[in-house]
Amino acid sequence: MNIKKTKILLISASGKTGGGPSHILLLKELLEDKFDFYLAMPSFNYNHKKFDSNKYLEIAERKIILMDIIRLIIFFRKNSIDIIHAHGKGAGLIGRIIKIFLNKPLIYSFHGIHTTCLNRLKKNLYILYENLTGWLDNEKVFVSLSEKLQAKNLKIFIGRHTRIINNSSKKMIRNEFNRKNKNYKIGIKNTKKNIISICRLVDQKNIFEIFEIARNLKNYNFIVLGNGYLFDKAKNYIKLKKIKNVYLLGNKKDVFKYLYEADLFLSTSLYEGHPISIIEAMSIGLPIVASKVTGNIDTIKNNFSGLFYRLGDINEAVNCIEKIMNNSDLKLKISNNSYLTHGKIFNTKKMKNEYISLYNKHDNFHQK
């Protein structure tokens, strides 16, 4: 006897490589034995092959287009979908619009409250928008405690139905720091140790701080994986400042190929929701040096699984990196704690069970 699975529409307004799309694909992989997933997302290259073409609807990148809304409503009704799950601000708006016409449960995951990079007018308009439309959400999901506290501090309407579900990543083989660097495998023609950052090249990620840190630590390679609208500006900045030890390598399908050649992970973000790139680095036991900001503070523990530095304090960031890299005992201790924290707190089994609970709560079909 075939039991009908609850059908869930996952929406993302961005198909760019990053935490949001990666999280959506992981959700499908972990839960497709229990739920039937459909996807509305801009074109996202090879990853869309993980969805049956009949269950995937391509929408515009970071734009709200009337035709997309109409197509989404038709797509939803045609497939008799049960739940809408919107990931991120743009997807949240799309989800709230189609909910008005469909009257189905809407789950909204923030994935970062993006006000730090906004001027006062845009920030106030965003808060107003959330307070005028947020009541449409049946439940709001925060990916970290500090993200929820940020929403409260901004006086964003969150309602009574909220929960915190941390992001996760798959368990990986532990990194070995006593190996010989094989930088030729990743296209680097030297034997220096590597500091790695994985991020979209956008204002939020504060990438120029990476370059300034690198200028002060010429004995290490600084590898930056990712793409974005700041790529050309970043490339020109590195050339202008004559920084020879930064490698902008763009998007890579296999980030672990580069993580395994690194000795430390660096995050300079202005804010995060709950950074999947750091969680992936922890899954192989990399020590973390990170800015002490929303999201990062929920991911690592200072002097345990990594070290925090004050945002904008280049000297402190440099000192944190050198403290770990020049002390093998400390490096091993932080590495062990990073790896064990991932296995205990940011494992996929824990996240899977929490999302099963969330979806079952809003499963109107099986509650009839």
The domain defined by 6-168+347-367 carries CATH number 1.10.760.10: no
- Rounded CA-CA distance 206/295 in Å is 15
Q: Which range, of 48-52, 82-86, 196-200, averages the lowest pLDDT?
A: 48-52
Q: How far apart, in whole angstroms, are the C-alpha atoms of residue 313 and residue 141?
A: 32
pLDDT at 49: 57
Right CATH number for 183-345 from 3.40.1190.20, 3.40.50.2000, 2.40.37.10, 2.40.110.10? 3.40.50.2000
From the CB of residue 364, how many other CB atoms can be counted at a distance below 10 Å? 11
- The predicted model gives 275-286 an average pLDDT of 97
Fold: same for 6-168+347-367 and 183-345: yes
Mean pLDDT of 275-302: 97
Rg (CA), the chain: 21
Whole-number Cα distances in Å, 273 to 138, 144, 305: 20, 6, 19
Mean pLDDT in the chain?
A: 93
Q: pLDDT band at residue 282, thresholds of 50, 70 and 90?
A: very high
Residues 202-216 have pLDDT tens digits of: 999 999 999 999 999
Instruction: Give the pLDDT confidence score for residue 158 in this predicted structure.
Output: 93
Domain ranges for the chain, please list them. Answer: 6-168+347-367, 183-345
Whether 298 and 274 have beta carbons less than 8 Å apart is answered as yes
Tokens of 84: 């809408």
For position 326, what pLDDT does the model report?
Answer: 97
Q: Could you give the CA distance from residue 65 to residue 43 in angstroms, rounded to a whole number?
A: 15
Give residue 46's pLDDT. 45
Is residue 68 exposed (0-12), middle (13-18) or buried (19+ Cβ within 10 Å)?
A: buried
Tens of pLDDT, residue by residue over 231-276, are: 999 999 999 999 999 999 999 989 999 999 999 999 999 999 999 9
Q: What is the dihedral sign for C-alpha 23, 111, 270, 16?
A: positive
Tens of pLDDT along 26-65? 999 999 999 999 999 998 654 555 678 899 999 998 889 9
The helix or strand, by DSSP H or E, that contains position 265, with its residue range, turns out to be strand 264-267
The pLDDT of residue 104: 96
List pLDDT tens digits, range 303-337. 999 999 999 999 999 999 999 999 999 999 999 99
